[in-house]
Chain A
Amino acid sequence: MPEIIRKITQAEAIREALEQAMAADDHVILIGEGVPDPKGIFGTTSGLQERFGKTRVFDMPLAENGMTGICIGAAISGLRPVMVHQRIDFALLCMDQLVNNAAKWRYMFAGQVSVPLVVRVIVGRGWGQGPQHAQSLQAMFAHVPGLKVVMPSSGYDAKGMLLAAIRDDNPVIFIEHRWLHGLVDDVPTRSYTVPLDKAEIRRSGKDATLVAFSFMVVEALLAAKALADFGIDLEVIDARSVRPLDMTTIIKSVRHTGTLIVVDTSWKTGGIAGEVVAGVVEAEFGALHRPPLRVALPNLPAPTSHHLSRDYYPDALHLSRAIVSHLDAAVPDAELVSRLLRSTPHDVPQREFSGPF
């Protein structure tokens, strides 16, 4: 049978992954604040309660830590819960259960019991998401042995990695980005999985390795395309997985390019970009032609006002300027501006977006 591939949004791809996982396995249950709502977590859970019923798809009390513990209890008792938080910031309320129980239950009981739990968390951005609705906390989760942490950027990977996460017998923190939900990608109709531990080279190049996470892959590819006009040939790696980091793919690329630039969706201090840099420096210091560079958020929480957030998030223009400066390349800034200055407002993913999230 020929494979059917069509263009759907990432939100639709995530919904399809959930639907296929639930159809394939009765033990998969879906729970979260707003899951059965008319808006269905940005469309990612729409229609699932109608199809699978109220015992498998349901809303939950506003009790994030307790509900996480309840999902862990269900997971060690044979179910495969998928829990959703509309913002990753709310998952901070679950850190006790995630770090103390989910991450350690298997280990501390010497492998006798596994915790097949998926926690979907969404990183907000723009339209005033502000200090407590726009954090990108992958490094915090990735710090903890026992958790797996992924942040796909493409719709294809979002579907395949979510299906893989639900089939995985370990707790997986599945980090989505609100600005990726609306992007369209070629996604097969069939059920398939994408590994939870492999980076993907999105663009081959020879001058520098650009490792990007989540939405920053979109910006990195825009920057790479613009800089190609000036003979700067960037290799763009979509990290996809945060724990484990696929250092093999990254190191192999750096051996080839001699330059490492890491683009993160989060703060620089203590961030995952630093972990990538450390891994490369430890393994291949001699291969580096110049110091590594991190492009990340300033060490400040996200401000709410759109006046204040204008320069908070690095976009393709910020990124390409940083790359040009780092490589000491001769590229007129006006040329970068003409290619990369956003024609859309800086605080929404698409011009037609009229808020709120």
Chain B
Amino acid sequence: MNHPVKRIESLYRAMQRIRRVEEAIADRYAAQEMRCPVHLSIGQEAVAAGVCAALTRQDGVFSSHRAHAHYLAKGGNLTAMLAEIYGKAEGCCKGVGGSMHMIDLAAGFLGAVPIVGATVPLAVGAAWAARLRGEDKVIAVFFGDGTFEEGVVYESINFAVLHQLPVLFVCENNLYACYTRLSARQADRSIHGVAAACGCRAMNVDGNDALAVFDAASRAVADLRAGSHPVFLECSTYRWREHCGPNIDDDLGYRPEAEVAEWMSACPVNRLATMLNVLPEGQDLLVNIEREIVEEINDAFICALAGSTPLQADLPGYLYA
């Protein structure tokens, strides 16, 4: 499919912004001021950018422990995210959640939590509520290949298919659950094949190709709005850094060197940068985007770090309505 330059530019901008935010977190992590786990999305930016570009602000998104990319791509507030990671009162959860608990209701980012699979049924329930309330809404939920081993996912898919709910299941298959390879955890069949057998309309796309992800998600969202079966999108991608933390951990030897090198050469951000670079004035465009992103991130870090200390006394008020 041919894509207008504006589309390529906006997807590139979204991905590069995520990449630079994650790198900035990694660079500053050693300062010991972000005192919570971080699961970085570097290498997997295309899935978040491509899917969220196919959604409207009113559509909802849920995610898991590795949520920064999804949150940012859906329009979540960057300063509130960084403030949350720093444990500040201005954080998106006022310091109660941390990196693994992202939320921005105004942006339609409905919540991310670290219990594997926990938000998959919530997405189905949100879609069910939208249906019963007559709202024209699609709900997308991001999860990894490991989540596809959780029973609750099958329970959720069954109900979504049974009631034809407008849910887009997005599986980021990055081949590893922590250090354990997919082949050691799942039988030799495709994830999207199982989803299809469960009654979803299932697709498999190159999760490092933001344009391909966008095209697939756009078709899925249009079909869901027209009342189709729930759609399951398996996106093949790769995590560049350690499961949890700021570092590169390939010295541990759990992933073949050639595999790591191959996936890194298929960098989703470079892929679109290369397309933009050959355009007339493309180089200027890339330089400008980079400058804008870096400025925004620097400002956001300054703002987040200047945030206030959350108060213990506020905690009980959060528990019950």
Contacts and interface: CB of A to CB of B under 8 A. Distances in A.
B48 to A, nearest CB: 20
Interface string B147-182: 000011011101100100000000000000000000
Interface in B71-106: 92-97, 101, 103, 105
Nearest to A145: B319
A61 B159 contact: yes
A168 B321 CA distance: 8
Contact of B111 (A63, A107, A113, A116): A113
Contacts of A73: 121-129
20 contacts: A29-B132, A61-B158, A61-B159, A63-B158, A65-B152, A66-B156, A67-B159, A70-B156, A73-B121, A73-B126, A73-B128, A75-B125, A77-B133, A105-B111, A107-B96, A109-B101, A110-B95, A113-B105, A145-B319, A169-B321
B130 interface: yes
Interface in A201-239: none
Interface of B: 60, 92-97, 101, 103, 105, 110-111, 113, 115, 118, 120-130, 132-133, 151-152, 154-156, 158-159, 162, 314-315, 317-321
Interface of A: 29, 55-56, 60-61, 63, 65-79, 96-97, 100-101, 105-114, 116, 145-146, 148, 168-170
Contacts of A106: 318-321
B132 A109 contact: no
Given A61-B155, A72-B122, 7 more contacts: A77-B125, A96-B152, A106-B321, A107-B96, A110-B94, A110-B97, A113-B105
A74 B118 contact: no
A96 to B, nearest CB: 7
B234 to A, nearest CB: 20
Contact of B318 (A72, A111, A168): A111
Contacts of A60: 159
Contacts of B132: 29, 55-56, 74, 79
Contacts of B156: 66, 69-70
B103 A69 contact: no
A69 B122 contact: yes
A64 to B, nearest CB: 8
A74 B160 CA distance: 13
The 4 closest A-B pairs by CB, nearest first: A73-B125, A66-B155, A69-B121, A63-B155
A74 B165 CA distance: 12
Contact of B122 (A63, A101, A116, A169): A101
Name the residue among A100, A111, A148 with the largest chain B CB count within 10 angstroms: A111
Contacts of B113: 100-101, 108
A146 B121 contact: no
Contacts of B94: 110
Contacts of A100: 113, 115, 118
A170 B317 CA distance: 13
Contact of B159 (A70, A105, A112, A145): A70
B318 A69 contact: no
Contact of A74 (B96, B105, B129, B152): B129
B232 to A, nearest CB: 16
B115 A74 contact: no
A243 to B, nearest CB: 10
B319 A146 contact: yes
Contacts of B126: 73-74, 76-77
B129 A110 contact: no
Contacts of A109: 92-93, 96-97, 101, 103, 111
Contacts of A66: 121, 124, 151-152, 154-156, 158-159
A72 to B, nearest CB: 6
B158 A112 contact: no
Most chain A CB within a 10 A radius of its CB, from B113, B314, B320: B320
Contacts of B318: 106-107, 110-111
A24 to B, nearest CB: 17
A29 to B, nearest CB: 7
A244 B127 CA distance: 33
Nearest to B89: A110
A100 B113 CA distance: 9
Contacts of A63: 155, 158-159
Nearest to A104: B113
A70 B128 contact: yes
Contacts of A110: 93-97, 314, 318
Given A74-B128, A74-B129, A97 B321 contact: no
A107 B95 CA distance: 11
Contacts of B133: 77-79
Contacts of B155: 61, 63, 65-67
Contacts of A55: 132
Contacts of A67: 121, 155, 159
Contacts of B158: 61, 63, 66
B129 A77 contact: yes
Q: Name the residue in B60, B111, B115, B155 with the highest tally of chain A Cβ atoms < 10 Å from its Cβ.
A: B155
Contact of B321 (A72, A101, A170): A170
